[in-house]
Every structure is written in C-alpha cells, then in structure tokens.
Chains A and B, each alone.
Chain A
C-alpha cells in the first residue's frame, strides 16, 4: 500500500513539473465556438476577431487535410498578437497534426545550407500515419506450473493458466516458453501479454486483486486492472511520424541516434527520393496516410531572396505543408536584394499567400490581456493598478506593460502585500525605462556616452595598448 501511495505521489509530481511562464503560455486555443465565430475572451485570446476568424477558417482547411501547399501571411504591427494566433492554431490542431515553429533567422547556420534547413523544416511539418497490428494474449496469471521430466535430461513441460474478467483458460507450454516466463519472473497475480507471432512476453504489472498479498513490495511494483473481455485480442497501434524522422533514420551516416542528439546534418537528396517513393507505395496500398501539417515561420522578413524562391518552388509539391509566416515589417528591402517590397517578401510569393492582418488592440482589450497575464503569472492586482498598467500599455507597448507585471508583483511582495497596488506599478515604471524614454535619455546625454563622435576609435586603441 505504501508503495502504491508513493507511486501516486511521484505521478502527481511529474504532472505539475515546473513549467516556466513564457510570453504566450496563457494561450490554449483560438477561442472560437463551433461555428468558428470568435468569442470575445476565450482560451487566452482577446480581441483580434477578424484575424482569429480567418485563422479558424485556415484551421478547418488544415483539419480536412485536402489542401496542401498554401501559404498564409500574418501581418501587423509589433505586439498585435501574430505569434499568439499561430500558437493558438497549433494548440487547436492538437498533438496529432505536426506543427513546426521556427524563426526566420534559424536557417542561417554554418553546418547546413539555407535550403537544407528549409527542407528539413518542411519535412518536419508533414506527418505520415501508419498502423501496426498484432495478435496478443492478454490476461492475469492464475498459476504457473512447471514440471521437470524424469531423469537429468528430461524436458520440462509446463502449464499456464490465464484469466480475464470474462474467462479463464489453460495453455500447455514447451521449454522455450517456460524459459522466457522464468526469465521475466512471471508469477501468479501478474498481468502479462504474449505476442502470438513472436512469443514475446511482456509484464504489464500486478493485478489490483493481489495488491494486499504482501506487506512490503518493491519500488517498481505497478498495479493494473485485471484485463476485460477476450483473452486473445487484436492490438492495433497507430503511429504518427514525420517525414523528417524517417529521413534521419534512413540517412546512413547518422542513424537513429541523430534523432536524440539533434545533430542531423545534411541529408542526401537521394535518400529523400527513396523515402518519397516508399511512402507513395504505402499510400497506394492503403498502409499510410499523409497528414499535411503546419510550418510556422516567425519574422519571415529575415528570409532572403534565395529562400523565398525556394519556398515558391517547394509550395508546388503535392506533399507541401501549409506555411504560415508572420512579419511586422511594412514596405521594406527584400533581404539579399536592393528591391523594396511589401512586408519584405517578393511579390510572386506574396501573390500565393492569403494575408491576414492584425490590428492594434483597443484600450479595453489591452486591459483584458493584462488581466489574463496577471492570472498566468499568479499575481493579484488591484483595479486601479490595472488601470494604470493599461494606460502604460496604450502609451508605450503591450510587451513593456507585461514586463511590469512580474516586477511590480516582486515589489509588492517585498512590502509583504498580497495585492499589487498603483504605487508598486508607478515605482517599477520609474525604475525601468521603456524604449521611448530610454531613447529620449540617450538623446539628452548623447555627448557623455562613448564613441559618439568618431574620436572614440583612437581612445579605444589607447586602452588596448
């Protein structure tokens, strides 16, 4: 019993493992109702109704799985919830649909070419579903009897009695099965499965009915329910793997250990070709299903012209995922060229995209978001403090106001108050500058900073000598 309690405690601990609070940790979904209409405040989402509704339509498209190779662009000013919408989309899709999130600048690495990094990201976003099937015998062991044959070299024979809640039966066993039963240390009261094809024995744990057999049990004793129904079951397991995982395992130089170490390097295109062939074959035989997922590229203006033209081509393939990009740039230079273009994305790619704009939050919405963040960060805030904070958010930025929540709550805790008051917020407002005030300060005292007028260079040389 003690070990049972201990096991439970351990389980609880693993669930409430320390989770750090991220910038978008309060988002649980898109906050839409069944008709895809956005609710005002739901699942951590506030306002931005048009963009959320558009995301809901995209969500439906992805779920139906019929379309592939589309691109969506989330465009809007900084701090208008572009990443939040992408995160909400990922949450709403559930764990079964592959969702890859990356920042535009992640593709620049010395180990890998830009297109290789993009290809890997694309293949990470495409899942294939395959099924494994096995006939197993599952039951609780009632008794194991092993008889030794007469004489020294006598063959052993044995009998195994298994039961479920519905039936009980005997199995005669040969020497091999006896050996593997003994190796697994199977005894009466254990719940086991036997694979019919391979004869592999797997101990699932001890039956609950036998929990009181002994006063003290080992740490690793696990108690399970006596199985129900038939003894000989058909077990079907559906696995979802991404194409990238298949690539990594099949790339001979790395093998499956690369999956864990993360050091995949470049994968040869012949290997990808072979895998595509195999997957196509499986699909034809009905053995595999394709799940086009989502590739989210944040800060998409950081991609350069080569990446954009590569994306253009990659989106044509019938196994392309849905690509969502987010950018906060207006009309700006396309990286790698001297041409200017809206959002820093070339016009031909832009033409393939559906563009979802996000608009700045209203006063009321800002207040709601700050309120949600306060809850997320476990911080009690008085109403007038929240009002002040909302004004800070409108005048400076939402991100700055969110930074002030934790800092203000720390100040409040120092004076042993349970609630953050207006004074606390004002104090941290004076302690920590926002970007605008910092800029003003710099302009005022520019002359007193180093290296501001070109003479700094010589000065630095002096220091080095």
Chain B
C-alpha cells in the first residue's frame, strides 16, 4: 500500500512537470504568433498615411490615434520578447529536472553559455564546427 502511494506520488510529480513543459512550449508558440501579428501591424501602420486606425480590444473595435497605437504595439513587442526569453530559459531548467526525475542523465551542454557571434563565425570558417 505504501509502495503504491509512493509510485503514485512519483508519477504525479513526473506528469505535472511534463505537463508544465508542454504548456510552456505552447505558450511560446502563442506568444510568437502574437509577436508576428504585431510586427505585421507595425509594418502596416508605418506604411499608412492615415491619422487614426481601428484597434481590436477583445471583441470591440476602437478607433484610436495612430501614434499611440504604434507605441502600444511597440511596448507589447518588448514585453513579448522578454516573456519568450524567460520561458525559454526556464524550459531548460524544467527539462533537466524532468530528466533527473526520470533517472536520465542531463542533456549534455544544455546550460553552456553560447559562443558570441564573432567567436562562432571564426570557428565555423576555420572548419572546426559547421
């Protein structure tokens, strides 16, 4: 009986973490979708010559000043970028935790700091990595 309870507890912890990872990944996809939509909108605003534009807030359409809209969108973009980066770095920790729970070795090199752009370029041109 005790064993069963222990197993159940273990399975719950694994499933919970796995579910969290999946939902985080989904979250990133949704955020990226919004990021792309915002980017398209910003591009269109830049091209248009009007002073006002329609803004959809939930299911309501609002006519809004174009300059303010632009600022809103840009702020939103910044926020999304921060959010995505945060999720991505948390994902790494969660994946390693999950592998730890499943008795698997951690992903090699997951926590390494990436080479700077310049460094990886020189390494690539020298033929060391490709």
Contacts and interface: CB of A to CB of B under 8 A. Distances in A.
Interface of A: 63, 96, 129-134, 166-167, 169-170, 172, 197, 229-232, 234, 236-241, 245-246, 249, 256, 259, 285-289
Contacts of B32: 167, 229-232
A35 to B, nearest CB: 13
A229 B25 contact: yes
Contacts of B126: 249, 256
A289 B127 contact: no
Contacts of A236: 114
Interface in B95-130: 105, 108-115, 117, 120, 123, 126-129
B112 A286 contact: yes
B14 to A, nearest CB: 19
A132 B108 contact: no
Nearest to A241: B128
Is the contact region of chain B dominated by helix, strand, or loop, or is it mixed?
Answer: helix
Nearest to A96: B108
B113 A131 contact: yes
B28 A172 contact: no
Given A96-B108, A231-B32, A231-B36, A131 B115 contact: yes
Contacts of B114: 131-133, 236, 287
Given A132-B120, A238-B112, A246 B128 contact: yes
Interface string B82-95: 00000010000000
B43 interface: yes
A197 B29 contact: no
A268 to B, nearest CB: 17
Given A249-B126, A259-B127, 18 more contacts: A63-B105, A129-B108, A130-B112, A132-B120, A166-B29, A170-B40, A230-B28, A232-B32, A232-B36, A237-B129, A241-B128, A241-B129, A246-B128, A286-B111, A287-B112, A287-B113, A287-B114, A288-B112
B60 to A, nearest CB: 24
Q: Which of A63, A130, A249, A256 has the most CB of B within 10 A?
A: A130
B29 A289 contact: no
Is the contact region of chain A dominated by helix, strand, or loop, or is it mixed?
Answer: strand
Q: Which of A132, A234, A288 has the most CB of B within 10 A?
A: A132
A289 B128 contact: no
Contact of B112 (A245, A246, A289): A289
Nearest to A250: B126
A289 B111 CA distance: 10
Contact of A129 (B25, B35, B109): B109
23 contacts: A129-B108, A130-B115, A131-B109, A132-B120, A132-B123, A166-B33, A167-B36, A229-B32, A230-B32, A230-B33, A231-B36, A232-B36, A234-B88, A237-B129, A238-B108, A238-B110, A239-B129, A241-B128, A249-B126, A249-B127, A249-B128, A286-B112, A289-B112
B28 A229 contact: yes
Contacts of A170: 40
B113 to A, nearest CB: 4
Interface in B14-48: 25, 28-29, 31-33, 35-37, 39-40, 43
A403 B103 CA distance: 43
A238 B109 contact: yes
Given A131-B115, A133-B114, A239-B129, A289 B35 contact: no
Closest 7 CB pairs of A and B: A133-B114, A230-B32, A238-B109, A256-B127, A169-B36, A131-B112, A286-B113
Contacts of A286: 111-113
Contacts of A259: 127
A317 to B, nearest CB: 23
Contacts of B25: 229
Contacts of A197: 117
Given A129-B112, A238-B108, A245 B128 contact: yes
Nearest to B81: A232
Contacts of B37: 169
A308 to B, nearest CB: 33
Contacts of B108: 96, 129, 238, 240, 289
A236 to B, nearest CB: 7
Nearest to B112: A131
B43 A172 contact: yes
